[in-house]
């Protein structure tokens, strides 16, 4: 009886420790285009030098997107 219990515990520990792979979560792809409002926000922030302050506070567009897509706020 002890041998059966020991084997059962061993099997449960092996099965219980099996790693379950996470489903692949696709990374967010940056937008390839900006809306007219986002475009204007990027241009205005770039001209006034507020890319890292006011632009981020508004939350309309990320300065990284402005840089990658329009070459502004880099």
Domain range annotation of the chain: 31-74
pTM above 0.85, yes or no: no
Dihedral sign (CA 27, 28, 29, 30): negative
The tens digit of pLDDT for each residue in 51-60 reads 888 888 888 8
CB atoms within 10 A of CB 40: 13
In the predicted model, what is the mean pLDDT of the chain?
Answer: 80
Express each pLDDT in 33-56 by its tens digit. 888 999 999 999 999 888 888 888
pLDDT given for residue 28 in this prediction: 60
Higher pLDDT, 2 or 22: 2
């Amino acid at each position: 009886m002890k041998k059966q219990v020991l084997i059962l515990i061993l099997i449960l520990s092996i099965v219980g420790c099996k790693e379950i792979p996470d489903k692949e979560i696709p990374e967010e792809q940056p937008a390839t285009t900006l809306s007219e409002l986002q475009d204007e926000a990027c241009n205005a922030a770039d001209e006034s030098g507020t890319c890292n302050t006011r632009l981020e506070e508004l939350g309309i567009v990320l300065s990284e997107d402005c840089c990658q897509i329009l070459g502004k706020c880099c």
